[in-house]
Chains A and B, each alone.
Chain A
Amino acid sequence: MRVIHFAASLILALWANASAALEVEEQRTYPGTGPTTLRILSTADLDVFEPFLLSFQASVPEIGIDYTVSSSAEVFRAVAAGEAFDVVISSAMDLQFRLANDGFAQSFVSDATEALPDWAKWRNLIFAFTSEPAVAVISTRAFAGLPVPRTRQDLISILRENPERFAGTIGTYDVRSSGLGYLFATQEARISDAYWRLSEVMGRLDPQLYCCSAQMIDDVSSGQLALAYNVLGSYAGQRLAGPEGEGLQIILFEDFDNVMLRTALIPNTATAVTEAGAFVDALLEVGNRTEKGEWVLPPLAPSSAQELSFGPIRLGPTLLVYLDPLNRRAFLESWQSAIEQTPD
């Protein structure tokens, strides 16, 4: 009963509590030479996005940028509440889709949007500019002497056979608070029942729950975690390349992968529509690049490994299924009973 209550309050937080002010995580303004400032609301961390913002401004210096970072649920709530932004970027495809479906986005057509493959846009309302798989990050030290798991089944066996070694050192999303975590979890549960077995196994190991990929990866590299499950491959790749990357290994499971599309939309409330269009065009141009390049966010083109799997999560009405409060409640109930098993 307590769980249901919690879930219900979360639903309220998501959809009913529209009047509350936006919870801002980060915010930075890049003044332009002209009078227009593009207000961007995004779930992507500043340090990930800044290179792109700077290169965009280098090409169009007259446009100022006001970049606000918030959680995907907050982003959704703010747009649905009619707060004024020019471009909305989010990794939570389902929430972005719902904004488009429910009529909060405006249509935009340009050469760049026409060049997008069909699966990377919906009704010219939302546009994908990255495709990012969910990966697991392991600490090679913690896994010393053990084989590197190649499938989820491998991982289940390893965790089950070494409960002492992994107790308290497994990290995964708290799907109650993370939109992206919820999306990955629901899609995985839909594709394979290995998800629930894995969650059961993790639940027995007193898992650490996180809001965001970045912290989870940090904790793996600091040695606090042995395994971070379902983190964004792009963030992990960035960390692996850095000085703290030593001792980290990224695992892209072979049984299937869960590929998320990071999407942008222009909300109805946008005032600088032309500039927003230019910004989306620039995003899509980068998204459509063929070389991996400098930027940590991967391009849209599926890698050869992804071509074998189901392809990215589909932009379509199926994304509404797990957003339904009843479904959410049911899923969170199952998830909670799997993940939150108190050992006593």
Chain B
Amino acid sequence: MKTSGSISRRLTVLLACVAALLSVLSWSMVTSFARQAAERTQDNILEASASIIAEALRSEDGEVRLELPYSAFSMLGAISEDRVFYHVTQGGATLTGTPAISADFVSPAPGQTRLNTTTYQDEPLRVAAITRVILAGANRVAVTVYVGQTRYGVSLIANDLSRTAALLSIAFFTVAVALSAVVARTSLHQINVIAEAVARRGPTDLRPLRQTPPQELAPLLQSLNRLIDRLSRSLRQSEDFIAEAAHRIRTPLATVRAQAEVALHSVDDVTEKKRMRQIIRAVDESSRSAGQLLDHATVAYRSENIPDTAIDLAQIASTATAALQPTADMKDIDIHLDANTAMVRGDDVLLESALRNVLDNAVKYSPPETSVTVRVRTAGASGEITVSDSGPGLGDEPFEKYTERFQRGKNAEGTVGSGLGLTIARDVVLAHQGRIELTNNEGNGTCVSFILPRA
């Protein structure tokens, strides 16, 4: 069947795209967080360093004095190999250090710290500044300490974390794709369950689907059930029609037959009598065909609802044998009944009509003055009815063909028939969860068996 692509694949690809997007997003977020964290760490160190230097400021003889504390610089060198610059101003004039680093810097208010990124020697330089007021003699002097550091260390840490984040994102993506495939498959499982339930059904099973579908599949299931309903209704209508038609044909035929019988007895001419007998036989055949059509419709109708009643196959066998006795007598055929009790569950009307059709074949295809055996047995978990004759056998065509509707064998040429008898038998047996077996007897004759589960 031509399909418009796979939902599962489409779903997987869609989910994978989402996962890829999330991976990239999370990677870029982690990268920017890592950078921010590294920058904040550097800022903290720079601030600490500047404040350590500011704390070392003192005044002596009315002059601001400063000895740069060793620790202020050792902390700067501790985590990275970054270039370090500092500048200390006293009331705007340089006390010591590199003035260029504070060129574009508004010095913070006393007691305040300020951070700024400037460019020095073509490199970004992060600078922390802190202002402290020193009492030098009688004057209050604002001294600002600037400490600057390049950002190699920050980049190094950020890149390192970014690389780790990238690896994690790739791992996440891979896992997500695998999970997407699994998720897509499990979500489509429900559809498969319904599809399988439909596929498992027998050809005549037109009951509505009873599965509880997921919400999304409810409409599909509903319309499917509606379709099935419509189908079975129209099927039943046509079967009703056939039954009705068969019935209406049979009734006038019975009248015709009765009249022909009367006519047969009232004429003396041999040719007239022969003609009348031909009419009677033809009417019989038509009536039987109509009966079979009726039976067939009945089977189709009743097999939808097989009751759970226990039935003795022996009983069925004796009823059917009795029904066929007059026909058999006409050909001097002896129907031999050998029945043991075998209980099954199902519809006695259907089973009887099935057996009647098979017996009818046996009588029809057997030469006169032979015998037909009907046997009922139990074997393991099944009950069996076997009808065995000593007629011509089934021939060498595949036997399945005989159970198809309106199919007749080559050996049936010359006999009148509709090709429905074995079809009815098969449908009934299948509706009872059983099977039909057609075999040729050793020597000659046919053997037809119904094998049904025991009650």
A and B form one complex: yes
- Which residue of chain B lies nearest to A124 when distances are taken between CB atoms in the complex? B81
Q: Is B62's beta carbon under 8 Å from chain A?
A: no
Q: Say if the beta carbon of A197 comes within 8 Å of chain B.
A: no
Contacts of B81 in A (CB 8 A): 122-123, 316
Contacts of B83-127 to chain A: CB distance below 8 A: 83-86, 95-98, 121
Q: Judging by beta carbons under 8 Å apart, are B77 and A318 in contact?
A: yes
How far apart sit A325 and B67, CA to CA, in the bound complex (Å)? Answer: 9
Does A320 sit at the interface, judged by CB under 8 A?
yes
Question: With A and B bound together, what is the CA distance between A126 and B152 in angstroms?
Answer: 17
Task: Tell me the minimal C-beta distance from A118 to chain B in angstroms.
Answer: 9
List A residues 325-343 near B (Cβ within 8 Å): 325-327, 330
Mark contacts of A97-133 with chain B using CB atoms, 8 A cut-off: 1 yes-contact digit, 0 otherwise.
0000111000000000000000000110000000000
CB-CB nearest in chain A for B70: A321
| Docked CA distance A320–B152 (Å) | 19
Most chain B beta-carbon contacts within 10 A, residue among A314, A326, A327: A326
Known: A320-B73, A326-B95. A101 touches B68 (CB 8 A): no
If A101-B83, A101-B84 touch, whether A314 touches B77 (CB-CB below 8 Å) is yes
Contact call A317/B77, Cβ cutoff below 8 A: yes
CB distance from B5 to the nearest CB of A (A): 54
Q: A101-B83, A123-B81 are in contact. Are A318 and B65 (CB under 8 A)?
A: no
**CB of A141 to closest CB in B, whole Å:** 40
User: Which of A317, A320, A325 has the largest count of B CB atoms less than 10 A from its CB?
Assistant: A317
Tell me, yes or no, whether A62 is within 8 Å of chain B by CB: no
Looking at chain A's contact residues, is the secondary structure mostly helix, strand, loop, or mixed?
helix
Give the Cβ gap from A265 to chain B, nearest Cβ, in Å: 14
> CA of A80 to CA of B233 in the docked complex: distance in angstroms?
105
Instruction: Tell which of A314, A316, A326 touches B96, judged by Cβ atoms closer than 8 Å.
Output: A326
Q: How far is the CA of A19 from the CA of B50 in the complex (A)?
A: 33
Find residues 270-323 in chain A having any chain B CB closer than 8 Å to their own CB.
314, 316-318, 320-321
Complex interface: chain A residues within 8 A of B73 (CB): 316-318, 320-321
B266: A residues at CB distance < 8 A: none
Q: For the complex, is B38 an interface residue (Cβ under 8 Å from A)?
A: no
| Chain A nearest Cβ from B77, distance in angstroms | 3
Is residue A25 contacting chain B, with contact meaning CB distance below 8 A? no
- The distance from the CB of B16 to the nearest CB of chain A, in whole angstroms, is 41
Q: Please, how many angstroms separate the alpha-carbon atoms of A223 and B72 in the complex? A: 45
Give the distance to chain B from A239, nearest Cβ to Cβ, in Å. Answer: 34
Confirm or deny: B6 has a beta carbon within 8 angstroms of a beta carbon on chain A: no
Taking a contact as CB atoms under 8 Å apart, the answer to whether B67 and A326 are in contact is yes
A330–B64 Cα distance when bound, in Å, is 13
- Report Cα–Cα, A103/B85, bound state, in Å: 11
Residues of B within 8 A of A326 (CB): 65-68, 95-96
Which of B73, B76, B82, B86 neighbours the largest number of chain A CB atoms within 10 Å of its CB?
A: B73
A102 to B97, CA, bound (A): 12
Chain A CB within 8 A of B271 CB: no
Residue with the highest number of chain B CB atoms closer than 10 Å, among A122, A321, A325: A321
Q: Does A50 contact B (CB under 8 A)?
A: no
A26: CB under 8 A from chain B?
A: no
Determine if B96 and A320 form an interchain contact, defined as CB atoms under 8 angstroms apart. Answer: no
Assess whether B68 is in contact with A324, with CB atoms less than 8 Å apart: yes
Q: With A326-B67, A326-B96 as known contacts, state yes or no: A316 contacts B77, CB within 8 Å.
A: yes
| Bound: A318/B77 CA distance, A | 7
Q: Decide if B74 is an interface residue (CB 8 Å cutoff).
A: yes
Asked if residues A324 and B121 are in contact (CB atoms below 8 Å), the reply is: no
Asked if B96 and A318 make an inter-chain contact with CB atoms under 8 angstroms apart, the answer reads: no
* Residues of chain A with a CB closer than 8 A to B97's CB: 324
Q: Does A190 contact B (CB under 8 A)?
A: yes
Please judge, given known A-B contacts A101-B83, A101-B84, whether A317 and B76 are in contact too, CB under 8 Å: yes
Instruction: Find chain A residues with CB under 8 A from B152 CB.
Output: 123
Bound-complex Cα distance A190 to B74 (A): 12
Nearest CB of chain A from residue B62's CB, rounded to whole Å: 14
Against B, the Cβ 8 Å flags (1 = close, 0 = not) of A157-198 are 000000000000000000000000000000000100000000
A324 vs B65: C-alpha distance in the bound complex, in angstroms? 13
Q: How far is the CB of A317 from chain B (nearest CB, A)?
A: 4
CA distance A316 to B69 in the complex (A): 15
Q: Which B-chain residue is minimally distant from A121 (CB atoms)? A: B81
Shortest C-beta distance, A220 to chain B (Å), equals 32
Q: Which residues of B contact A318 (CB under 8 A)?
A: 70, 73-74, 77
Q: Which of A103, A190, A327, A330 contacts B83 (CB under 8 A)?
A: A103
Least CB distance from B321 to A in Å reads 107
Decide if B67 touches A327 in the complex (CB within 8 Å). Answer: yes
- Pairwise interchain contact A190-B70, C-beta atoms closer than 8 A: yes
CB contact list, B33-74 vs A, under 8 A: 65-70, 72-74
Question: Within 8 Å CB of A314, what residues of B?
Answer: 77
* Residues 286 to 330 of chain B near chain A (Cβ within 8 Å): none
In the complex, residue of chain B having the shortest beta-carbon distance to the beta carbon of A101: B83
Report the minimal beta-carbon distance from A308 to chain B, rounded to whole angstroms: 21
Report chain A residues within 8 Å CB of B74. Answer: 316-318
Residues on A with beta carbons closer than 8 Å to the beta carbon of B82: 317
Q: Which residues of B contact A325 (CB under 8 A)?
A: 96
CB neighbors of A among B138-179 (8 A)? 152
Chain B, range 329-380, C-beta contacts under 8 Å to A: none
Alpha-carbon distance between A321 and B70 when the two chains are bound, in angstroms: 6
Complex CA–CA separation, A45 to B248 (angstroms): 137
Q: In the complex, A27→B65 CA distance in Å?
A: 42
Query: Shortest beta-carbon distance, B372 to chain A, in Å?
Result: 105
In the bound assembly, the distance between CA atoms of A190 and B67 in angstroms comes to 13
**Chain A residue nearest in CB terms to B64:** A326
Tell me the complex Cα distance, A327–B82, Å. 22
Residue of chain B at shortest CB distance from A186: B70
- Give A330 to B68 CA distance when docked, in angstroms: 10
Complex CA gap A325/B97 in Å reads 9
Across the interface, which residues of A come within 8 angstroms of B84, CB to CB? 101, 317, 320
Give the complex CA separation of A103 and B76 in angstroms: 18
Residues of chain B lying within 8 A (CB to CB) of residue A316? 73-74, 77, 81
What residue of chain A has the Cβ atom nearest to residue B77's Cβ?
A316
Given A102-B85, A103-B121, A318-B70, 9 more pairs with CB closer than 8 A:
A101-B84, A123-B81, A123-B83, A316-B73, A317-B73, A317-B74, A321-B68, A324-B68, A325-B96
Q: 19 A-B contacts, Cβ less than 8 Å apart?
A: A101-B83, A102-B98, A103-B83, A103-B121, A123-B152, A316-B73, A316-B81, A317-B74, A318-B74, A318-B77, A321-B68, A321-B72, A321-B73, A324-B97, A326-B65, A326-B67, A326-B68, A326-B95, A330-B67
The interface of chain A, by Cβ under 8 A from chain B, is 101-103, 122-123, 190, 314, 316-318, 320-321, 324-327, 330
**9 interchain residue pairs of minimum CB distance:** A316-B77, A317-B84, A317-B77, A318-B73, A317-B73, A123-B81, A103-B121, A318-B74, A101-B83
